[in-house]
Structures are given as C-alpha cells and as structure tokens.
Amino acid sequence: MHEASFESILKTVLIILFIYFGFKIFIKWFGPLILKWFLKRIGQKFQQQFNGQAAPKAQKKGKVNLDSDKPKSSNSNKKVGEYIDFEEID
C-alpha cells in the first residue's frame, strides 16, 4: 500500500492553489477584453440580420413575386352536431 508523503500533499495543494489564483487573475485582466470581443461579434451578427431583412433581395428581370398580407383561411362548413334546447326544471 502506498502512503502519501507530506511533500507530495503540499505540492498538490500548492499546484491547485496556483491554478485557482492564476485563473482568477487571468479572468480579472483579460475577462473584459474577451467580453468586448464576444459582444462585438454578436452585435455584428445582429446588424447583418437586420440589414438582410430591411433591404429586399434584388430580383432577376422577368421574375414575379407576389406577397399577400391576407392570411389564408379555411372555410369549413362542417356540422359540429345537433342543437339541443335545454329547459330548467324547478
């Protein structure tokens, strides 16, 4: 059976602490830069989508495109059932 020495336990704890505090410092210094870059990319994607919707695509000569604002409605004349007149009994 292997026993852990005090030196190996101390090394492991120091490595874990070094990684933890190193990560905290890295995020503190570079976190705002990463966030700015990420938000700029998302803003550009939204801008591209907005510009794509605002300006209609150029159509080829001779092509006809019909856009209707009326929703298609289905006229169904199906009978749902019989009408029964109920009366209250005192």
- For 12-71, how does the pLDDT look when each residue is reduced to its tens digit (9 = 90+)? 999 999 999 999 999 999 999 999 999 999 999 999 888 877 555 566 778 877 777 766
Domain presence at residue 79? no
- Owning domain of residue 29: 1-54
Domain presence at residue 63? no
Is a pLDDT exceeding 70 seen at residue 73? no
Domain presence at residue 13? yes
Domain presence at residue 29? yes
- What pLDDT was estimated at residue 68? 73
CA distances from residue 85 to 40, 56, 88 in whole angstroms, order as listed: 67, 57, 10
The count of domains in the chain is: 1
